[in-house]
Amino acid sequence: MKISKPYLIVGQGVAGTVLAHHFLQANIPFQIWDSPIHFNSSYAAGGIFNPVTGRKLEKTWLADELFDYLFPFYQQLEKTLNASFFYPMPLFRPFANAEMKQWLLDRKSEINHDFLTWTDDGVWVKQAGWVDVASLLRHSKNYFEKQGIYAAKTFQVADAMDFEGVIFCEGFHATQNPLWNKLPFLPAKGELIRFQSNEPSRDCILNKNGFILPLPDGAFKVGATYRWDEFTQTPTASSREELFGKLTSMGVSNYELLDTYVGIRPATQDRRPFVGMLSGNNRGIFNGFGSKGVSLSPYFAHTFTQDILGEKELQADVSIRRYSHLFSV
């Protein structure tokens, strides 16, 4: 593949960061810009990756492929950046009540899969854990700066002509970009809090209508809320009450509130990411990772890179080409 000008990656959230590391690996020349005037939702993320979802303990979409890919990816990236931010950790899902326990046990043979270990009180989920996203982004930014490929700049339309292609990794802000605002995003504001307590376990992530995550500094995080009615960066009293309620329902009564984090998940109506270059145009997108940026972005950065290199076409259900009718003039 012959590339005369560099690519531009717009946005250094988890999506832009993970894509940039794949471009470095593939020797695709690029710059990465991150806007000093837009907020970044990745800093609010709990960073959890969890291959099990829903009442019926199903495997998440593409769990086998995603989780086989993400472990070596983040482990290698820790070495490259000489930093620690990847924390595999067992996740425990207690049965909600006796009735639910019986309901699940009656269906155990249909439900069971390799990610689950059953106990009397609930199920353990294997291959779960969390990424310290703030640390990943900070170390990556330093790494990109040292290579002279990072700038704290906001993309303007006229910038596009200097680049082979521009790939927008703007998270929620894509909903305000005239190029992408017709896409069926379904953003969801979320909050979580960091707290101090002696009560929760330090050995696992507890997952019961929310999560409690033990942090290396001795504190914990509890999350997360979802709302679809407003998209400001302001924490709300009602979300805080909801998070306190989650703590109570997970058996934590004594705690001290340390911090509140707010972000907006770039979720999509069809619950699939938006990935790929527009045809006949040098604009592309890597977005729509919703509440799963940490587990989805590595695998799809890999497949997007293969698509750009002409090695393998992107799978249809994530490709932006499924919305090509929105971009025809």
Ligand X SMILES: Cc1cc2nc3c(=O)[nH]c(=O)nc-3n(C[C@H](O)[C@H](O)[C@H](O)COP(=O)(O)OP(=O)(O)OC[C@H]3O[C@@H](n4cnc5c(N)ncnc54)[C@H](O)[C@@H]3O)c2cc1C
Contacts of 265 (CB under 8 A, 6+ apart): 41, 172, 187, 188, 189, 190, 290, 291
CB of 309 to ligand X, least distance (A): 22
Q: What's the closest the beta carbon of residue 64 comes to ligand X, in angstroms?
A: 18
Helices assigned H by DSSP within the chain: 14-25, 63-81, 98-106, 108-111, 133-146, 237-249, 293-308
Q: How far is CA 248 from the centre of its chain?
A: 27
Would you count residue 305 as binding ligand X (CB under 6 A)? Answer: no
What is the CA angle 149-290-228, rounded to 5? 125
Touching ligand X, residues 204-263 (CB under 6 A): 223-224, 261, 263
Residues 133-162 that bind ligand X (CB under 6 A): 154-155
x-or-dash string of contact with ligand X, 307-326, rule CB under 6 A:
--------------------
Token digits for 229? 């009615």
Check the CA dihedral 197-201-205-209 and report its sign. negative
Asked if residue 38 binds ligand X (CB under 6 A), the reply is yes
Minimum CB–partner distance for residue 305 and ligand X (Å): 16
42 binds ligand X (CB under 6 A): yes
We find the least distance from the C-beta atom of residue 62 to ligand X, in angstroms, to be: 14
Q: Does 191 bind ligand X (CB under 6 A)?
A: yes
Residues 271-290 that bind ligand X (CB under 6 A): 287, 289-290
15 binds ligand X (CB under 6 A): yes
Per-residue CA distances from 164 to 137, 161, 302 (Å): 25, 8, 19
Q: Does 192 participate in binding ligand X (rule CB under 6 A)? A: yes
- Select from 294, 301, 308, 318 the one that contacts ligand X (CB under 6 A): 294
Minimum distance from residue 97 beta carbon to ligand X (Å) = 25
- In terms of Cβ atoms closer than 10 Å to its own Cβ (0-12, 13-18, 19+), residue 203 is exposed
CA distance 266 to 185: 7
- 80 versus 176: smaller Cβ distance to ligand X: 176
Burial of 202 (0-12, 13-18, 19+ CB in 10 A): exposed
Phi and psi for 298 in degrees, rounded to 5? Answer: -60, -50
Nearer to ligand X, 295 or 319 (CB): 295
Provide the binding-site residues for ligand X, judged by CB under 6 A. Answer: 10-16, 33-35, 38, 40-42, 44-48, 154-155, 169-173, 190-192, 223-224, 261, 263, 265-266, 287, 289-295
